[in-house]
Amino acid sequence: MIHGTHDHDFRSVLAPPAAPAGLAERVLQAARERRETGALALRFDIAASERGVARLHPGKGEIRAESRRARTLAERAREELSEYLEGLRSYFTVPIDLAATAGFQRAVLEAARAIPFGEVRSYGWVAEHIGKPRAVRAVGTALGRNPVPLVVPCHRVLRSDGSLGGYGLGLDLKSRLLSLERETPAIVGSDTTRIVCRHGCPNEQRIAERHRVVFATIAEARQAGYRRCRRCLPADH
């Protein structure tokens, strides 16, 4: 197809197909929805112990904590939650206290925590992961009782046919969270320091938008002359 080695050959071969009808309208609608999702963080009630965040559910934005340290943790959770919902963070650093859960449910929640940002797994995968391959339905129930949704990402678990399954906070929010994660970049570098970070790392948050460069892999970032941040240690999986 490229007969010679001339540049105009590349131009014609690479000419892309036309944009689909209604694209602009869909983009504008998504922008309106995003503004609503970002405002959600302020409405969560958060309960924390000395060990970490213990409960999280939609309410009036109240904090329940028995000590100063617990309060600090709850406030930190709200801040990270708000950054996450605005697409500014890809992981949570605030500790979680799952003491109120035990046995099977605990194992299910731990498995859900292992699903990386921006990825999804099936209920069956979770069941296999905890060594109970036949307990697919029970996995759904355990995830439905997740005391710390979003932070323990039970929204990343779908049916094996790709349909959404269930979600304690409503399927609309589940699908919004999944598209938010698809849209948030994971490996971000600064063209002034030539360092790449995980999205949400404190060093990454200081990068001005105009100095941001996103890479597909750490290997490609290295080729472009960037090195890994020592604080968040981004890695190719």
Partner 1 sequence: MSQGTSTMIARTRRSETDDRELLARIAAGGEDAFTELVRRYQRRFYGIARRMLGDDREAEDAVQTAFLRIHRHAAAYREEWSGATWLYRILTNVVIDHWRKRRRLGEVPLSATDVVGTAVNVERVDVDRALAKLPAEARAILLLCYVEELPYAEIARARGISINTVKTQLLRAKGLMRRYLKR
Distance between CA atoms of residues 1 and 152, nearest Å = 50
Closest CA to 109 of 99, 118, 63, 51: 99
For 114-199, where are the alpha helices, taking DSSP H only?
123-129, 136-144, 171-183
Distance between CA atoms of residues 200 and 92, nearest Å = 8
Would you count residue 210 as binding partner 1 (CB under 8 A)? yes
Would you count residue 11 as binding partner 1 (CB under 8 A)? yes
Q: Is 232 a catalytic residue?
A: no
Shortest Å distance, C-beta 30 to partner 1: 5
Size of the site for partner 1 (CB under 8 A): 50
Would you count residue 197 as binding partner 1 (CB under 8 A)? no
Site for partner 1 in 50-109 (CB under 8 A): 86-87
Please tell me which residue in 154, 201, 229, 232 is annotated as part of the active site: 154
Cβ neighbours of residue 63 closer than 8 Å, sequence gap 6 or more: 45, 46, 47, 48, 71, 74, 75, 78
Shortest Å distance, C-beta 160 to partner 1: 15
For residue 51, give the 3-state DSSP assignment: coil
Shortest Å distance, C-beta 226 to partner 1: 9
Residue 185 sits at the vertex; the CA angle it makes with 23 and 145, to the nearest 5 degrees, is: 95
Q: State the residues that interact with partner 1 by CB under 8 A.
A: 1-2, 5, 7, 10-11, 13-20, 23-24, 26-28, 30-31, 34, 86-87, 118-119, 179, 182-183, 185-189, 191, 208-217, 220, 223-225, 237
Catalytically active residues are: 154
